[in-house]
Structure formats: structure tokens, C-alpha cells
Amino acid sequence: MDLLNTLVDKGLRRELPTREEALAVLATSDDDLLDVVAAAGKVRRHWFGRRVKLNYLVNLKSGLCPEDCSYCSQRLGSDTGILKYTWLKPDEASKAAAAGLAGGAKRVCLVASGRGPTDRDIDRVAGTIKAIKDQNEGVEVCACLGLLSDGQAERLREAGADAYNHNLNTSESTYGDITTTHTYADRVDTVTKAHAAGLSACSGLIAGMGESDEDLVDVVFSLRELDPDSVPVNFLIPVEGTPLAKEWHLTPQRCLRILAMVRFVCPDIEVRIAGGREVHLRTQQPLALHLANSIFLGDYLTTEGQAGQADLEMIADAGFEVEGTDQVTLPEHRVRAGGGCGSHESAGCGSHEDAGCGSHDGAGCGSHEAGGVCGTAAVAAEPRTDLVAVRRRGAGTDLAPNA
């Protein structure tokens, strides 16, 4: 297919595809899907080999958020039955992080619900970063605390944070349909602040909220312009009690096409499969490793992921290897350019939930006509509500975490 040959050539040269080419990837048929995966896989292997970076989420503060993000289980007034607790103490957060690091994670993502941190919150997180780094040499720490005020990114950097996550989530034109308590521009501003402070920027999207193909391409091109080191791709987890609980538009094939499009647009950037992979990719998760070079290990912020051991077995069975702490995630030209993500001096993040470190399942901060599902895509199957489980273990509980 001429389109795929062109996209591979551009990806190997770090050349931006055209919008028409990106849209064409989303419009490919299921008959062509394996060809699409193989083509994007060439680009992924060129820049990242067969390494898979593991990231681990610690939800420092759950629920109690004043924002109204429609996808989020921690939103204002939500009745989702999630765990709700205020700030974990540094030793509690460090203990939670240790479980993920023991399972092979090289990055810990510290997430807190809310519009944004106060200066006192920054002090709290600084203490937590110190506790984690004192006990784990070479660990990368990403903070995800919502909208940043002037000077806060610099303080996090001084405290030892390597990266900051804040997702754009969807296109600028449809952002107002998803949340009304802050703007798309607010999100761009926070990513810009993180970048300017020398933190590795991590920013991604949520697919499956009813967006169009054009919306998906818009947000990915906007992300490419912001130049983050890491782009987490979340697939909507339709949690009961949220306004988007009935949005079940995704198929495994659709998710693979989205990941392929992101890889072609962001060839040398860490692409992370974040929240929702178990719900929507299901048995096709191993195939997605040919497109993305990073995943979250274990559970998400408010919902459960598949067993951590199953993640490790999936990576090995698919012929990939877990990236070690002695390996640099990003290609050399990005690290030298000051990106940091993955050199264990400076890194990146992602999990869909607003404050949410790249893995959408409830924190954070269009139109949802089914039109987002490309005309050539298969109609989504019956909702798999059995795959959506509220987290009842790990941080904020007395039970062992899933790592």
C-alpha cells in the first residue's frame, strides 16, 4: 500500500505526515489492519527496538475533585463508588510505589485529583518524591497534579521530579463538550510551564468519547506541536455514574488504528498505552505492543487493570523485553535536546483521569455522536461492563496492590 510505504519513510526520517495521511490510517479497513500494524511497527522498532517501558501509578489523593470532566470518576458530584481519601503520607506513597518498582516499573507516576496544587500541596509532593528516590536509585518520578500556577513546575523540578503529565484529552473544538470548569488553553499552558521548567513533558489523549476522526487527528497534531517526550493514549473507561458511562464506540481494531496513527505522527516519542487497554483492546493487547513502547503496570487510579504478572507474561510472550533502569527510553537526539524522558535524570508520564497521569480512569481534568467511529470501522460490540471494576486495593486501602 503506497500510503503505508510513505508513512514508514516519513517515520524513519521524523517527518510529519499530512493530515490527510493521518486520517487515511483511521479509515483503513479491517482487511488492511495487519498491514497497518506491521508498517507502524517498523517505525516503533527503529526508534525503540523491542523494549517496553513499565510505569506505575500511585493515586496520592482520590476523589473530592471540583472539576466536571465528563469522563472522570472523580469529578464533581460523581456517584461512582470509587475510593475517596485525602493525601497519602510520604511513607505510604513510597510503600505503594515500591510494589510497582519490584514488578519491573522504572517510572512512578504520582497523581492527585483536583483542579491544581496549592503551594502546600507542592511541599507534600516534594516530600513524597524524596522518600521514593531515597529508597530507589535511578527511579523516574512523574507528577500529575492538575493545572500549575507560576513557579510550581520549577519547585517540582527542584524537588527531584523528572516529568510532569497533563493531557490535552481531545481536540480544542470539542473540549467544551467534555468539561466546563477549565479550558483547553489552560491545559496547553500547564504543559508549556512544565516544558519551560526543564521537566519532561507528558501529554496525551482519550479516545472513545464520541469524537470524530478529525478530532483525533487534531489533538495528536496539537500534541506533536507541543513536543512532549511521552504521549499516553487512553481509551475511555465508561465508569457507571459518569456522563460518558454509555459511550461504547471502540473496537480492538479501532484502537489499533488509533495507536498506529499516533505512532506515525509521533515516531520518536514514547507512545504509551494507558487507561482502557484491557477494556477495549482485550485479547489484542499483545498486537498493540508493536505500536506503543510503554504501558502502565497493574491498576489505574480508580479502576483495576489486569494482573501485573499477566502484563509481564504478555510482554515476554509477544517477543518484547521490559526496559531496564539502565536503559534510556528516548532516542539519543531527543535526550540531547533536553527532553529527559527516560534518561534517568529527566523523564515523562501518562494515564487518563484528569489530574491523571496519562491513564484515564477518573481524575482530571465532544460531542458524543457515534460519528467518531470511522465509517469503515466495525460496529462496536456489546458493552463489556464486566471488564470495568472499581479499584479496591493498593493505595488508600489496607490490601496489597496489583503490581
Where in the sequence numbering do the catalytic residues fall?
A: 65, 69, 72, 109, 142, 202, 272
Cross-strand pairs, 309: none
Supply 62's cell numbers: 482520590
Cross-strand pairs, 55: 107, 296
State CA 194 to chain mean position distance. 16
| Residue 141 · residue 161 · CB < 8 Å | yes
- Please state at what angle helix 252-265 crosses helix 2-12, rounded to 10 degrees: 50
Q: Which among 241, 240, 243 has a CA at the least distance from the CA of 368?
A: 243
How far apart are the C-alpha atoms of 227 and 205, rounded to whole Å?
A: 14
| Residue 268 · residue 106 · CB < 8 Å | no
